[in-house]
Amino acid sequence: MRRYFGRKLLVYGLTFFVAVTVNWMIPRFMPGDPVSSMIARAGASNPGAVETMKAYYNGLFGFDQPLWKQYLNFWTSMFQGDFGISIWAFPAPVGEVILNAVPYTLGLMIPSVLLSWVIGNWAGAFAARRKLLDNTVLPVGYILTAMPYMWLAVLLAWSLGVVAGVFPVAGGYSFSLQPSFSADFLLDLLHHWALPFASLFLVALGGWAIGMRNMIIYELESDYSNYLAALGAPQRLIRRYAFRNAVLPQITGLALQLGVLVAGALVTEIVFSYPGLGSLILKAIQNQDFFLLQGTFMFIVLGVLIANFIIDIVYVVVDPRTRAGMAGAQA
């Protein structure tokens, strides 16, 4: 058991290191530099002042040091919990900018990932048993899963937001409200959350439903099911066994899908102007905000790795074969 998790942790640690390093490198090798564009935006009328400002900001952000040193500085300050100052949202610290955005992204991600998984599996398993349901769930599932996130998001925003006017099209909560713990505010928050959530939820739902349906049909036709049936076991019992076996690949699928879902959440947030990490990443790239990009990316890498780790643990719990394998390894 310890070896299993030790190995997993090592792999995760390496992944983290490589991903963060790559993310440190990419923006720095992009053409252009953030200080120049910041100062170009400043539009100071005096070219002399421009030179001074440039030197000043290069010093402030540490761009005047050699690259290897910048890289070392990056790791040291990161372990001290300092992610630097955002260039785009100057002079806010990156940590603060991200912390403001994270609740919104998590609030979208966690429910949509888990709910779509649970409901998708349930719907898929249900569909596999009834011809009529199968004929509807399957095509709908295919359409949903083939739909790009932002496309569905735009459709929802346009139809339910602009045309029907039932839902708001932008923001985390009404522009007329102050955050508070009142029922009004929480309802408003939910109101703004509904459409981005729905677009994430629906797309993911289709995939899970199809996967589960196929798995259940496969399991119901396998030898053990036939054997059980031949023994005269009730259909319910057979289905219960089938479901348990069919759900295992779906758990693996969840681990694999997480990265895709994060990407989906990012574009959805941009469509709905939802104040989460997605909008931040887009702006960070556009403004070559190295620090913000590093920060947001690191947060996502960490999130995906932690989620995968949790799924690893869950796998050990739900699949006795893994436990058996580990016991064998220990012996």
Partner 1 sequence: MRNRVRIMVPLLAAGLAAAACSTGGSTPATQGSQAASAPATDGGALPRNETLYTSGTQWGPPANFNPLREWDYATGTEGLVYEHLFHFDGNAGKLVPWLAESGAWVDDTTYELKLRQGVTWSDGKPFTAKDVVFTFELGKMETVPYHNIWEWLKSAEAVDDRTARFTFSKANYQEWDYQLYSRAIVPQHLWEGRSEEEVLDGENENPVGTGAYVYKSHDQDRVVWQRRDDWWGKTALKMEPKPKYIVDIVNSSNEVAMGLLLQKGMDLSNNFLPGAANLVKGNFGISTYYPEPPYMLSANTAFLVLNTTKKPMDDPAFRKALAHSIDLKKIVEGVYGNLVKPASPTGLLPQWEQYIDQQVVSEKGFTFDVAKAKKLLADAGYKDTDGDGFVENKDGSKIELDIIVPSGWTDWMESIRVIAAGAKEAGINMTPDFPDFNALVDKRGKGDFDLLINNERQLSNTPWTYYDYMFQLPVRKTQNTVNFGRYENKKVWELVQQLDQVKTDDAEGMKKVISEIQKIHLDELPIIPLWYNGLWSQVSNAAWTNWPSSADGTPKTPPTMWRNWMELGGFETLTQIKPAS
Binder of partner 1 out of 25, 51, 226, 310 (CB under 8 A)? 51
Number of residues that bind partner 1 (CB under 8 A): 88
Q: Is 321 in the site for partner 1 (CB under 8 A)?
A: no
User: Which CB sits closer to partner 1, 12 or 88?
Assistant: 88
Neighbours of 301 (CB within 10 A): 21
Residue 143 CB, nearest distance to partner 1 (Å)? Answer: 23
8 Å CB contact between 108 and 265: yes
Neighbours of 304 (CB within 10 A): 19
User: Which CB sits closer to partner 1, 74 or 239?
Assistant: 239
SS3 93: strand
Q: Is 40 in the site for partner 1 (CB under 8 A)?
A: yes
- Compose the 272-311 pattern: x for residues touching partner 1 by CB under 8 A, - for all others: xx-x---x--xx--xxx-----------------------
Candidates 30-38, 67-75, 129-137, 249-257; binding stretch for partner 1 (CB under 8 A): 30-38
Q: Is 58 in the site for partner 1 (CB under 8 A)?
A: no
8 Å CB contact between 277 and 261: no
CA distances from 312 to 104, 119, 138, 180, 259 (A): 26, 21, 29, 38, 15
Q: By CB under 8 A, what part of segment 180-219 binds partner 1?
A: 180-182, 184-186, 189-190, 193, 197
Residue 250 CB, nearest distance to partner 1 (Å)? Answer: 14
Name the residue type at position 316.
Answer: V
Q: Dmax over Cα atoms in the chain, in whole Å?
A: 91
Binder of partner 1 out of 2, 45, 320, 331 (CB under 8 A)? 45
End-to-end CA distance of the chain: 11
What's the chain's Rg over C-alpha atoms? 25
